[in-house]
Structure 1
Amino acid sequence: MSHAEQTVEDMRRKIQENWIWFLVLGIALVIGGLILIAAPLATSVAVTLLIAAVFFVGGLFQIYNAFKVQGWSGFLWNLVTGIVAVIGGIVIYVNPLVGTLALTLVIAAIFLAQGVTQILLALKIKPHEGWHWVAIAGAISLVAGGLIWFDLPGSAAWALGLIAGISVLMNGWSYIAIALAARASRHA
């Protein structure tokens, strides 16, 4: 048995031994995801505040790093980027609704770009089996981006929270699926 096969087997055994904890984690994440979906504005603002904190702290570290490696050719770029991140973090923290609107706009643009890219890819790989799934995924991204974009500024109240909630919910379902599969194979 190769090292990779042994690693996979060890992981499988650990999951089977601890399947109940995977199930508990999955259920907790599903409940958390449902809560996030139920309160999308609060979730959107919370996500925005978290991003503000990341910008602020990351910016401080970037400024510190710029001075730490001052002789480096990227000193000025690092310093300016750090200052902008700190200021951006403060601005978003002071007015999280404006930050939420800006982040929602970025997410809409990403979905639109991803949708177009996936549809073009689907058309490029069209003779291959399964190309239509790529096209469907692209169409869904395009529709989601359009819905968010055309509902601005109203979508700022629900988009980030809904996306975060769906992500957490799906994560929970994946852990539940892993736990149930491990339980079934343990008893087989």
Structure 2
Amino acid sequence: MNGTSGTLNASDLRGAIAPLRGKWGWIVALGVVYLVTGIIALGSVVMATVASVFVVGVMMLIAGVAEVVNAFQIKSWGKFLLWALLGMLYIVAGFATFQNPLLAASVFTLILGAALIVSGIMRITLALSMKSQTPWGWVLLSGCITLLLGVLILAQWPVSSLFILGTLLAIDLIFAGAGWIGLGLSLRRAH
């Protein structure tokens, strides 16, 4: 980082990447693991959906316990009760995901579809309000695709809840794997 402007210049970037050059093989191996895992998840999207719901359930439990612990740090009774109730809500929701992961996937998919629709509408509105500026077409296209994706998810809901989360997880793993492999191979060429 350049101390005066806070920007990263080329020599700073080379210095930061230098330690990674010798580890390019490990980075490629990590990418292959991501890629294979993504392909396996794509082959069994229902199981990948259940796995992603379990991960969310674990995160809810961790957040709930943290909220309850935080409640005991609050001195006033009203705030303690609010924090403790919020933490218990997270804990109950976390256990609910373990009890019925397909129902949890259905709820998560419903929320995802609705969020995509709202996000798409907001992007379209933003694009139309910035027509005189350069990138408005890309923002409009992004908004239309996001809106369409949300509509497609909700049009097939609740059936889509069996495969949407798993499919998104698989796609993310595949692209992350490809990214790590690309980074590792470019480090190898630079080595």
Shared fold, TM over 0.5 = yes
How far off its partner does 1:128 sit? 3.1
Match of 2:91 among 83, 86, 89: 86
Match of 2:43 in 1: 38
2-structure distance, mates of 1:85, 1:143: 31
CA shift, 1:163, in A, is 0.8
Q: Distance in 1 between matches of 2:190 and 2:161?
A: 44
TM-score by length of 2: 0.87
SS state at 2:72 partner:
helix
2:129 counterpart (124, 127, 130): 124
Residue of structure 1 in register with 2:150 after alignment: 145
Cα distance in 2, alignment partners of residues 124 and 66 from structure 1:
44
Tell me, in whole angstroms, the C-alpha distance in 2 between the residues paired with 1:83 and 1:156: 26
Tell me how far apart the structure 2 counterparts of residues 180 and 127 of structure 1 sit (CA, whole Å): 42
Amino acid paired to 1:183: R
Runs of at least 5 residues in structure 1 that lack an aligned partner in the other structure: none
Which runs of no fewer than 5 residues in structure 2 stay unpaired? none
Q: For residues 7 and 169 of structure 1, what CA distance do their matches in structure 2 show?
A: 30
Would the alpha carbon gap of residues 86 and 141 (structure 1) be closer, same or farther in structure 2, given more than 3 Å must change? Answer: same
Which residues of 2 match residues 7-26 of structure 1 at below 5 A?
Answer: 7-26=12-31
TM normalised by structure 1 equals 0.88
Alpha-carbon distance in structure 1 between the residues aligned to 2:21 and 2:48: 34
The one-letter code sitting in structure 1 at the alignment partner of 2:144 is A
Corresponding residue of 1:98:
103
1:157 correspondence with 2:162: yes
SS in structure 2 opposite 1:74? helix
Change (3 A) 1:127 1:31: farther
Choose 172-181 or 4-13, whichever is displaced more. Answer: 4-13
Bigger mean CA deviation after superposition, 36-45 or 119-128? 119-128
What is the distance in 1 between the residues matched to 2:132 and 2:15?
A: 40
How many residues are aligned here?
186
RMSD: 2.0
